[in-house]
């Protein structure tokens, strides 16, 4: 049994494993998205989203969804999925009913769905995981 909280690299490894478990049609597109793991969301993201408590944000998609991309776009930065380790760990402890692997996979896939152009409502209609 581990005696320390998982590191940033360990959370990233869980997200990479979740990506590799995707169906092939989604896996290739998902590999084009950068995965970044930080302890907590930066103030810039929190301010843009109107969130005061960084522990309320476990993940974020930062990019242009595939449904909105144009061949005329010149990318400023790569599409990125951000995972916030401390917020994920807090939720994992509070929930107590899922594995860390399952929670990281869920957060990653939720953010990846935004890359594919799905709204939160679209995701909720498909993914009843939180219920």
Residue 1 lies in a domain: no
**DSSP helix, strand, coil percent of the chain (3-state; round to 5):** 50, 10, 35
Residue 100 lies in a domain: yes
pLDDT at 129: 54
Residue 131 lies in a domain: no
Which structural domain range is residue 18 located in?
8-66+76-126
What is the full per-residue pLDDT of the chain (131 aa) written as tens digits? 566 899 999 999 999 999 998 888 888 889 999 999 999 999 999 999 999 999 999 999 999 888 887 767 666 788 999 999 999 999 999 999 999 999 999 999 999 999 988 877 777 666 655 45
Please give, one letter per residue, the 3-state secondary structure of 11-27: HHHHHHHHHHCCCHHHH
In what helix (H) or strand (E) does residue 49 lie, and over which residues does it extend?
helix 43-49
CB 116 within 8 A of CB 29: yes
Tokens at residue 91, please?
A: 């939720």
Place of tokens 């969804």: 65
CATH for 27: 3.30.2010.20
pLDDT at 25: 81
Residue 31 lies in a domain: yes
- Cα(94)–Cα(131) distance, rounded to whole angstroms? 15
Total of domains in the chain: 1
pLDDT at 66: 81
Residue 40 lies in a domain: yes
What is the three-class DSSP state of 78?
Answer: coil
Question: Which residues are registered as beta bridge partners of 84?
Answer: 38
Residue 118 lies in a domain: yes
Residue 2 lies in a domain: no
pLDDT at 128: 57
Residue 34 lies in a domain: yes
pLDDT at 1: 57
pLDDT at 82: 98
């Amino acid at each position: 049994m581990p005696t320390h909280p998982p590191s940033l690299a360990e959370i990233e490894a869980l997200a990479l494993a979740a990506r590799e478990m995707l169906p092939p049609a989604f896996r290739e597109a998902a590999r084009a998205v950068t995965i970044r793991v930080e302890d907590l969301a930066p103030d810039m993201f929190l301010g843009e989203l109107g969130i005061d408590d960084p522990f309320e944000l476990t993940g974020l998609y930062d990019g242009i969804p595939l449904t909105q991309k144009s061949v005329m776009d010149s990318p400023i930065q790569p599409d990125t999925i951000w995972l916030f380790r401390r917020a994920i760990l807090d939720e994992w402890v509070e929930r107590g009913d899922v594995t860390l692997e399952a929670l990281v996979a869920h957060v990653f896939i939720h953010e990846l769905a935004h890359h594919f152009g799905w709204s939160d409502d679209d995701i909720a209609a498909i993914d009843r995981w939180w219920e």
